[in-house]
Structures are given as C-alpha cells and as structure tokens.
Amino acid sequence: MRFIGDILQTIFGFSLPEQASEKAYLVDDLYNFVLLLSIVGFIGLMAAMTFFIIKYHRSQNEKAAYIPHNALAETIWTVIPTIIFVGIAIWGLFAYFKMEHVPSNAYKINVTGKQWLWEFTYKKDGLELNTTDIMYVPVNTPIVLDMTATDVIHSFYVPSFRIKKDTVPGMRTRVNFTATKKGDYRIFCTEFCGTSHSRMRGTVRVVSKARFEKWLNREIAEANVSDPVELGSRLFARNCMTCHNVDTTTKIGPGLAGVFGKNRSFSNAADVVANEEYIRESILAPPAKIVKGFPNKMNSFAGLLSEKDIDHLIEYIKTLK
C-alpha cells in the first residue's frame, strides 16, 4: 500500500508542501487518490462530451435520436459514484481519527493565539517559559499542542505537518504531530482575525532532542530569573524601548535616565518629584501628567501589565542613571 502511495506522491507531489511529520502521508495519500480519481473522471466526462459535440455536430447529424432515459446507464452512474464518494468519506474518517490520536507520552506545549502573534508556553519542573514567533520542538517526538485564544478566533496551521485547528477564546482545542525532519517550517494563522491576519505567521523550528533540551534549560532558566531589576529591564525592552531611551536623550518620550527622584514639570499639572507613585501613574494613566514639551502619545498599560510587572519596571527605572 505504501508503495502505491509513494508512486502517487512522486506524480502529484509537486502540488503539496514537503512532508515533515509522521502523519502527513495520511493526508497526502487521500489527496492524491482523489486527485487521480478526479482527473480520470474529469477527462472521461470531457472526452465523451467533446466526442459527442464533434460527432453529432449539427452539420454532421441530420436527425436527433429519441432517447428519453436508460435505466441501466442511470443506475450505473448513480451507484458507482455513491460507492466511490462514500468510500472517500470513510477513508477520510479513519485517517482523521488516526491523526487525532495523541500518543500518551506526547510532550505538551501550550499555544495561545492573540491579535496578531502566537505565544508558546513550555513547562518544566514547575517553571514556565513563554516565547513568541518561533516554536522549538524536538525531532521524532510526539508533540501535543493545547491551544486557546484570548481575543478572537485564530487558526494554527503548519502546512508541512498537515495540521490545522482553530484556537477559540474560552475553549481548549488540541492538535498533535511528530516532526520527522529538522528544519524551519511555516506557521500561518488561517482564521480571519483582523488587520494583520496575514502577518500572524510564525516558525516551527525542529531541532535534535539534545539541542532542544539544552535550549529549553537555558531559556527557562533565563526566563525564571527572579531579580526584579533584570525582569524590569526585559519588560522595558519589550514594551517601552520603542519610545524611551535609557539614557537622557529623547526618543518619542523622554529618556528615563535619572528621572527617578527628580522634580518633573508638566503641561497639565503641578510639579511633582518623581517617586514610585508617579511612575506607576505614568504607566497606568499617562495623560494625567504630561511632561512639558512632550505630546500626549503614551497609551495606558492598564490591563496589559500586571501589578508585579509594574513593580519590576519601577525597580528598573530606579536604576537608570
């Protein structure tokens, strides 16, 4: 059987992306089979039609025959398609359930879709690692993705693995695969989710098991540092760097070095000395006090950063000199 599948794959393979997962062939086999059948059916039908058009063209045929029906012919072309179509459906079901079957030792990664990025969460020994954009997975290891979304529906699609599943807010969906080849594979979001739907792409990076372990240990240790200043600096890099420099130079907002403890003057409020309360307010309600000479460009981070995050940010800003 596999042999036939391989032959078809060599003929029609050009239309499908590279197979890079253990179960990809389940999709390809049926795809190729239906394609073959369709080509045969289509050519057969069109050949018959063309032949009739030419042979029985009005210039060739004086008188039309009178054939209102033919029980045998009609039975044949009712029964045969029924068998074929239902056969395809049943094949598809079996293949689907095979694909859905999750091996019990599968390695679990949590996936969250949000406008417009993918977030991957790895867990190990009670520690957590959140990454975006690139999903590292070990080769030849069953992986199960436990997925959800935070805002609207997205859909997690890796063409080379032949997997796709919507991620639905308020619901958990699962998808599983075993990558068979090292390399980078594309992730697409395939459920329309707004402005940057088409940019909600990512990469699965399949690496050897050893490298994966190493990567995970390193990253997870990195991610779980508890030094508030270090954490604050990371948050700052991710959220604030686009507008603030860490020296005294202006970007979009003021450079933050040395701000803490200094007297600040505003275009819409009385002066204050920058203390923790003030920085907290600057993050949560920026328009309350707009620094003199600056536009009201900063959006509130309320709801986006946790209380802890803000504490860490403050600790970090304190250190900027």
Q: How many CB atoms lie within 10 A of CB 202?
A: 22
Instruction: Please identify, among the stretches 129-137, 185-193, 239-247, 268-276, the one whose residues bind ligand CUA according to the rule CB under 6 A.
Output: 185-193
- Give me the amino acid identity at 51: F
Q: Can you read off the two tokens belonging to residue 52?
A: 């009739």
CB of 113 to other proteins, least distance (A): 12
Collapsing DSSP to helix, strand or coil, 16 comes out as coil
Q: Please give the DSSP secondary-structure letter assigned to residue 64.
A: -
Q: Contact letters (x/-) for other proteins, 54-83, by CB under 8 A? A: --xxx--xxxxxxxxxx--xx--xx--xx-
Environment class of residue 282 by beta-carbon count within 10 Å: exposed (0-12), middle (13-18) or buried (19+)?
buried
Nearer to other proteins, 181 or 218 (CB): 181
Nearer to ligand HEC, 202 or 254 (CB): 254
Q: How many CB atoms lie within 10 A of CB 45?
A: 10
Q: Answer yes or no whether residue 41 interacts with ligand HEA by CB under 6 A.
A: yes
Residue 186's beta-bridge partner residues? 203
Q: Answer yes or no whether residue 151 interacts with other proteins by CB under 8 A.
A: yes
How many degrees, rounded to 5, is the angle at CA 154 between CA 153 and CA 157?
150
CB of 229 to ligand HEA, least distance (A): 46
Q: Answer yes or no whether residue 37 interacts with ligand HEA by CB under 6 A.
A: yes
Q: State how far Cα 149 lies from the chain centre.
A: 11
CB of 290 to other proteins, least distance (A): 29
CA dihedral 282, 280, 221, 143 (to 10 degrees): -70
Q: By beta-carbon distance, which residue lies closest to ligand HEA? A: 41
Q: Contact letters (x/-) for ligand HEA, 80-109, by CB under 6 A? A: -x--x-------------------------
Q: Answer yes or no whether residue 48 interacts with ligand HEA by CB under 6 A.
A: no
Collapsing DSSP to helix, strand or coil, 194 comes out as coil
Residue 231 and residue 118: Cα distance in Å, rounded? Answer: 22
Q: Can you read off the two tokens belonging to residue 70?
A: 């033919």
Nearer to ligand HEA, 56 or 192 (CB): 192
Q: Answer yes or no whether residue 191 interacts with ligand CUA by CB under 6 A.
A: yes
Q: Contact letters (x/-) for ligand HEC, 224-243, by CB under 6 A? A: ---------------xx-xx
Nearer to ligand HEC, 113 or 286 (CB): 286
**CA nearest 150: which of 176, 117, 121?**
117
Residues that bind ligand CUA (CB under 6 A): 113, 116, 154, 189, 191-193, 197, 200
Write out the residues near ligand HEC by the rule CB under 6 A. Answer: 239-240, 242-244, 252-254, 259, 264, 274, 279, 282-283, 286, 290-291, 294-298, 301, 313
